[in-house]
Amino acid sequence: MATYNAPLDDMMFLFEKLRDNKHYNDLEKYKEVNADLAKDILEQAAKITENLILPLAKTGDENPTKLENGVVITPPGYKEAYKKFIEDGWTSLSCDPKYGGQGMPKTISTFFDEMLSSASLSFKLYSELSIGAYNCILHHGTDSIKKKFLPNMVKGIWSGTMCLTEPVCGTDLGLLKTKAIEQPDGTFKLSGQKIFITSGDHDLTDNIIHLVLARTADAPAGTKGISLFLVPKIQVKEDNSLGPRNSVSTGSIESKMGIKGSATCVLNFDEAIGYMIGPKNKGLSSMFTMMNLERIVVGIQGLGISEIAYQNALNYSKERKQGKSNNSKLKNGADAIIDHADIRRSLLNMKSMIEGERALSFWLAQQTEVSLYHNVSKIKQEALDLVSLMTPVVKSLFTDIGMEITSDAMQIFGGYGYTKDQGIEQLYRDNRITPIYEGTNSVQAIDLVFRKLANKNGSVIENYTQLVKNGIDESKNNVETKLFAEKLNQYLKILIDFTTWIEKSMKNSKDDVSAACNDYLKVLGLVAVGYSWLKVLDVSFKEIKNNKIFFEDKIETAKFFFDRILPRINTYYKSGISGSENIMKFKFN
């Protein structure tokens, strides 16, 4: 079984030294959330993820969720662990105190999301979608709906889902067929089928609150005719007690490559009673409140799985002896494989991306809080634009890199990595869904280029590149960070040139642009990670006298990133601007 130790030192370094967003620090609601409180929460989070949840990863993989006589049964140990999980208040960590939450910021909950993803993604998914549903209801539900449903969701005794996909539509939601017929009392009866519903049914909570996209009888065609509905698995009475079973049933659960402990369900709605959430025919807009936050969280899943894969590959490389290294001093026997240059390269590739991604996600967590809670509308909007820009980047880059890292970890284990005993091949299988769900990574790249580069508030990418340029200019003034800043500036220029090419090509050939989207996202993503590393370096050189071992490690890891990872940008750029003529004219037999 894979082992795991939460990277608390790295997380606390970010919380203590890189909470540098002035607008975030101005938020009154988080004034009392200091480093001591953060450390206490994260230490407790580490204990529950390492000791209680980590063993569930292997259990869930070997004993998948099953459907028996219409009842979904989770793997052994899940119910007991979930009971402890909600008793300790982990579902309420980032929720509004008004509904029983603890009100912690995403600068803390993001780290917990990573820990959970490392320990057991299957188990995490049962509470993750609940938080997404909670956020959607919080922002778009009426006061009576919020009062009726949110407290029990915050407690964790009720869970939530997101029901979008149907047999006829995945990404293209304009094709969905689920119908909602309004009733005299203002409720609706929903009929239709939803597929691939994560945590769609299970035995962990007393009720499940489904958020369902559907069409009313008079809805216009396409995405403009979609409304959002809250449909409980079990109806809730006026006094908030549970009533009869709603007309929602589980048709089947999917047999999957990975995340086998998570119930991925086909749900049938047969005139199920529901309540409209948000304005009529604006359901997709309301659901995006949940989807956009979920996309960031999926990126964190990729980061969390990368972290545990790296830890196990590092530990194995120190123990496994094979061959003599180029600088071996042994007369007999073999060196540990960590002494071989290529293994060290692979490990540093993992480490430099993981730590850079974690710094980027921490920066994004601060921006997210500003976008939600700052009292100056202009500042709030600027932060929201940056979050919108970076959401597809974090979702795609972190999960794609997660596939690279879990594959490399298996390679370091060699033949043992291909067997089930070590738990490494499970990490590869579990992570494989992350580039697919919540919008495939290709869809994220298209969204970035065609929707996010420019919006009604102006060119968001120009604002971001200027932000990076300002950071580079500051770092150039420091002799220790100057070289790093100059290297990043070279790649920032490539990003700017690529952006200009995209803008020009958009007028002449959208196929050229479509064919370049994935390359563009990776260029932007690597620049963003590079900028995060630059911020880490600024602190590391200043603080090195206080903790030489820790900060030397940061500096040396950053050197690898700037020398070995950032140059990938050159290839992505050249590939991206090569056009689409060959692609579109090619005849497949």
Q: In whole angstroms, what is the distance from residue 302 CA to residue 319 CA? A: 26
3-state secondary structure 447-480: HHHHHHCEECCEEHHHHHHHHHHHHHHHHHCCCC
**Parallel, antiparallel or unpaired: strands 188-198 and 227-232:** unpaired
Among 120-134, 393-407, 445-459, whose mean pLDDT is lowest?
445-459
Query: What does the pLDDT read at residue 93?
Result: 97
Tokens 């921490």 correspond to what residue?
362
The pLDDT of residue 222 is above 90? no
Query: What does the pLDDT read at residue 353?
Result: 98
What is the 8-class DSSP label of residue 235?
A: E
Q: In whole angstroms, what is the distance from residue 431 CA to residue 554 CA? A: 26
Dihedrals phi, psi of 169, to nearest 5 degrees: -155, 140
Structure tokens at 471: 């950071």
Among 49-53, 92-96, 286-290, 307-311, whose mean pLDDT is lowest?
286-290
The pLDDT of residue 172 is above 80? no
User: Do 536 and 554 touch, CB atoms closer than 8 A?
Assistant: yes
Mean pLDDT score, 75-97: 97
Average pLDDT value over all residues in the chain: 95
Query: What does the pLDDT read at residue 173?
Result: 76
The pLDDT of residue 171 is above 80? no
Mean pLDDT score, 116-130: 97
3-state secondary structure of 319: helix
* pLDDT tens digits for range 511-552: 999 999 999 999 999 999 999 999 999 999 999 999 999 999
Query: What does the pLDDT read at residue 458?
Result: 73
Structure tokens at 321: 């002896």
What DSSP element (H or E) covers 250? strand 248-253
Residue 1 banded pLDDT, cuts 50, 70, 90: confident
Rg of the Cα atoms in the chain: 24
* pLDDT tens digits for range 330-350: 888 898 999 999 999 999 999
Query: What does the pLDDT read at residue 328?
Result: 83
Q: How far is CA 143 from CA 187, 218, 287, in A?
A: 16, 26, 18
How deeply is 454 buried, as exposed, middle or buried, from its count of CB atoms within 10 A (0-12, 13-18, 19+)?
middle
| Sign of the CA dihedral with 370 first, then 301, 566, and 441 last | negative
Residue 223 banded pLDDT, cuts 50, 70, 90: confident
Query: What does the pLDDT read at residue 290?
Result: 75
Q: Closest Cα to residue 192, out of 253, 269, 283?
A: 269
The pLDDT of residue 567 is above 90? yes
Query: What does the pLDDT read at residue 169?
Result: 83
Dihedrals phi, psi of 66, to nearest 5 degrees: -135, 155
Structure tokens at 174: 């304009």
The pLDDT of residue 168 is above 90? no
Mean pLDDT score, 69-94: 97
Mean pLDDT score, 85-104: 97
Q: In whole angstroms, what is the distance from residue 190 CA to residue 178 CA? A: 7
Residue 170 banded pLDDT, cuts 50, 70, 90: confident
Please identify every residue annotated as catalytic: 438
Residue 79 banded pLDDT, cuts 50, 70, 90: very high
Q: How many CA atoms lie within 13 A of 178 on its CB side?
A: 34
Residue 325 banded pLDDT, cuts 50, 70, 90: confident
Query: What does the pLDDT read at residue 456?
Result: 72
To the nearest whole percent, how much of the chain has pLDDT over 70?
100
DSSP-assigned beta bridge partners for residue 166: 169
Check: pTM over 0.85? Answer yes or no: yes
The pLDDT of residue 288 is above 90? no
Where exactly are the structural domains of the chain?
453-589
Q: How many CA atoms lie within 13 A of 259 on its CB side?
A: 25
| Sign of the CA dihedral with 338 first, then 343, 345, and 346 last | negative
Query: What does the pLDDT read at residue 175?
Result: 82
The pLDDT of residue 188 is above 90? yes
Mean pLDDT score, 471-475: 97
